[in-house]
Amino acid sequence: MVKRVEIIGDYKSDFRPHQATDAALCHAQTATGLELLIRWLSTDELDKPDGMDRLRRAHGVLVAPGSPYNNMNGVLAAIRLAREAVIPLLATCGGFQHVILEYARNVLGFNDDQHAEYDPYASRLIISKLTCSLVGRSLPITLVPGSATARIYGQAQIEEQYYCNFGVNPEHVLLLRSSRLQIVGSDPEGEARVVELADHPFFIGTLYVPQLRSSETKPHPLLVSLLAAARNRENPHDCR
């Protein structure tokens, strides 16, 4: 059976993380042997009935890097759909940031929470500019033992490459730590780098871009695990 994976993002052929996303999914597809239909879904399409309909029929969703997205509200709606409809989701870089924002607004009830890339002068920023750019840097991350992400990697100490300038506002980390959207990966300074949603078969956000470390001979485990979760998702037509 063909499994459908939708990539949320405004594709740019010369943007390295987008090139890496296409390649990493191909690597993971070869590793899993799945027959896949992989398509990019631009954020502008998420305001159209057909766009959200495509998401409802998806077996897996990858929210790609590349913020600011053309349509922030569309991305937040897509993340909410994956969260509530139990669609496997992996969100990286800008996707991670919007997972945090969606959860803060729609679950924690902070409707005024904002992302500094869109509104740097907002009164409440849950996503703020990093004190130091992480673009192109490879840095260590410690995963919470026993977390889904640690099980996927098979270890608690990892190193990954970043492509971002924004992250979780340190002032709101304690709020997130008390929620079901758990911080399961942190940098040496304790700043949030990986989150996962409890009681969801696969809902992981990484501030880094795992796609950048994938290769034909070593597909990235997070991409392989996303496709494995997509394989296990029942035909969406049967559960709508």
| Residue 235 reports pLDDT greater than 80 | no
**Closest-CA residue to 209 (of 60, 58, 59, 18):** 18
pLDDT at 234: 78
pLDDT at 38: 95
* CA angle 16–18–24, rounded 5-degree value: 100
CB atoms within 10 A of CB 99: 29
* Chain centroid offset of residue 192 CA: 14
Whether the full predicted model's pTM is greater than 0.85, yes or no, is yes
The pLDDT-based confidence of 238 (bands split at 50, 70, 90) is very low
| Residue 237 reports pLDDT greater than 90 | no
Half-sphere exposure of 218 (CA within 13 A, CB side): 5
All residues at 6 or more sequence positions from 163 whose CB lies less than 8 Å from its CB, including other chains: 16, 17, 65, 93, 134, 135, 136, 208, 209, 212
Alpha-helical runs (H) found in the chain: 16-32, 49-56, 72-84, 94-106, 148-153, 173-177, 221-232
- The class of domain 3-238 in CATH terms is alpha beta
Where exactly are the structural domains of the chain? 3-238
**Closest-CA residue to 4 (of 235, 240, 238):** 235
**What are the tens digits of pLDDT across the range 97-121?**
999 999 999 999 999 999 999 999 9
**What are the tens digits of pLDDT across the range 121-172?**
999 999 999 999 999 999 999 999 999 999 999 999 999 999 999 999 999 8
Rounding to the nearest 10 degrees, give the CA dihedral for residues 54, 55, 57, 59: 130
